Amino acid sequence: MELDTIKLCCAKCGFTIEQYSATELAEVPRKAKRYKYLLQKSSICPACLASGRLKEVRVTRESATAPPGGPVQPSAAAPVAHERHPEAPTPMLDALERGRWPSHVTELRQTRYPLQMYEQSLQRRTTQWDYGGYVSLPGVAAGVLVRASARPEITKGSNFLRIMDPCGNFFKTDKLRRLCEIAEKYAYGMLHLLSTGGDLEMLGIPTENLRPAVAEIMAIGFDVGSTGDDYRTSEECIGPAQCDLALYDTLGFREAWYKRFLDDVQYPRFPHKVKCKFAGCPNDCVRGGQKSDFFVCGVFRDLPAIDQSRVKTWVDQGGDITTVCTRCPGGCLSFNNGDGLRIDGDSCLRCMYCVNKVPGVRPGGDRGVAILVGGKMRGKFGPMLGKVVVPFLKAQPPDYKEVFDLLERMTEVYDEHARKKERVGDFLLRIGLSEFLRLAGVPVSARVVSQPRINLYYHWEPEEIKDERTAVQEVGPPQAGV
């Protein structure tokens, strides 16, 4: 029996979408590439509109009506079973399982993850996953991510869902358990907790299973989205829920952000993805300055408040105050036994170094947020750090109107003027910071220039700074800057 024609048909109705002859596939590389591409992507059948992977039908010369040789998809009903992945020895992965530490390979072995993809990546020293795309799913405007495979004989590809995490990434155990059940039923049987973007990913859901999986996730009270050219799920530090340094309520801030911008998370409309991160203090545990297009960072405007008696106790107990003073980035700390710890207001960078090192030094009382724009790692012009657009803004709960209005103005400017697939940082570099400030209606001040003086707080006037804490502790008088 000689192989004659290979047809690509709809898995449901059998409608022939493309067909190739065996010689054509062997001789014309363009056709072979197209054939390979069609096999691994999900398509919509023009006849019955079912979306999914195409079925391969091989027709031989002797028996033109032979039953299809390709894998037969079970029709609808319950979750669709996963494709079978070929078994093969895994010498490289076995090496990763030795040792007395927990092994990720041991975990992956227990799931339906195509382990050969990983093994082959290690053996060939390059990843075997290919560029992905999106599967459109009615009801989920942002679509579902798909990672294509460069080795269709191992796996055809893998769809994955991004689940928006609750603020602070707090999961009640029973809800997480129900998510695990869904992952066990429809996906590889594992969760990716948490992705670097701060959301929960459910890997390896066959296209036919997407709709019931999304419905069940929604029923628990989670939402999916955060793919495509929209706001990605934001990330925030744990803030006042667990941390002593938070300068504003990052969790409440993100809750309010969701309330206001949820449509932009769900419906892609921007030229490229936009990432937001919220950090409670300039320590920036969420790496927002490097990674996010719009970064809201908690800051204080006056000087750090010093509890001299606690500092003295710490020094008496052997605290290395000399090193702290010499390593202060602004060079503004001085200590002697008579005066205690003194801060030179003109040079203080509000960098949190002394706050982190010395017990008894706390952030100042005049608190708010700074907004940085344009941080990113990829894009046309490579990695960039965020630029300070607004050095200080009061964050007023519950709706944070002032901050969000500004964010909205800036995204509108980006949406209106940026080119397709241009990140905010590239856009900022192309039009210039002054033009961006003019378009966004942010007043230009001496504190915001494209190459700022290292100390942004130098120009604050003493009367601009007021301690707004309700219960000010008995500490040394905050020394006003300038």
- Cβ at position 416, least distance to other proteins in Å: 7
Q: Give CA–CA dist 255/156, Å, rounded.
A: 38
Give, in order, the Cα–Cα distances in Å from 105 to each of 94, 130, 191, 207. 8, 21, 14, 26
- Cβ at position 269, least distance to other proteins in Å: 5
Q: Which residues are 140's β-sheet partners?
A: 137
- Cβ at position 222, least distance to other proteins in Å: 20
Residues 6+ apart with CB under 8 A from 381: 425, 426, 429
The tokens for 445 are 């001040």
- Cβ at position 420, least distance to other proteins in Å: 7
- Cβ at position 392, least distance to other proteins in Å: 31
- Cβ at position 32, least distance to other proteins in Å: 16
Tell whether the torsion through CA atoms of 365, 366, 369 and 370 is positive or negative: negative
- The smaller minimum CB distance to other proteins, of residues 209 and 227, is found at 227
Quick check: bond before 398 cis, omega within 30? yes
Buried b or exposed e, range 301-334, using 16+ CB within 10 angstroms: bbbbbbbeebbbebbeeebebeebbeebebebbe
- The smaller minimum CB distance to other proteins, of residues 53 and 362, is found at 53
- The smaller minimum CB distance to other proteins, of residues 224 and 354, is found at 224
- Cβ at position 24, least distance to other proteins in Å: 14
Which residues contribute to the site for other proteins (CB under 8 A)?
Answer: 15-18, 38, 43-44, 46-47, 49, 133-134, 136, 138-139, 141, 143, 227-229, 263, 267-269, 271, 415-416, 420-421
Task: Of 420, 431, 299, give the one whose Cα is nearest residue 374.
Answer: 431
Q: Is 84 exposed, middle or buried (0-12, 13-18, 19+ CB in 10 A)?
A: exposed
- Cβ at position 334, least distance to other proteins in Å: 55
- Cβ at position 81, least distance to other proteins in Å: 25
Tell whether the torsion through CA atoms of 80, 82, 83 and 84 is positive or negative: negative
- The smaller minimum CB distance to other proteins, of residues 259 and 421, is found at 421
**Spatial contact of 183 and 189, defined as CB atoms under 8 Å apart:** yes
- Compute how many other C-beta atoms are within 10 angstroms of the C-beta atom of residue 124: 11
Q: Is 253 exposed, middle or buried (0-12, 13-18, 19+ CB in 10 A)?
A: buried
- The smaller minimum CB distance to other proteins, of residues 68 and 79, is found at 68
The tokens for 179 are 């998510």
- Cβ at position 17, least distance to other proteins in Å: 5
Residues 6+ apart with CB under 8 A from 58: 3, 5, 6, 7, 66, 68, 69, 70
Cα within 13 Å of Cα(28), Cβ side: 10
- The smaller minimum CB distance to other proteins, of residues 44 and 218, is found at 44
- The smaller minimum CB distance to other proteins, of residues 133 and 212, is found at 133
Task: Of 43, 27, 309, 272, give the one whose Cα is nearest residue 156.
Answer: 43
- The smaller minimum CB distance to other proteins, of residues 44 and 193, is found at 44
- The smaller minimum CB distance to other proteins, of residues 116 and 159, is found at 159
- The smaller minimum CB distance to other proteins, of residues 53 and 367, is found at 53
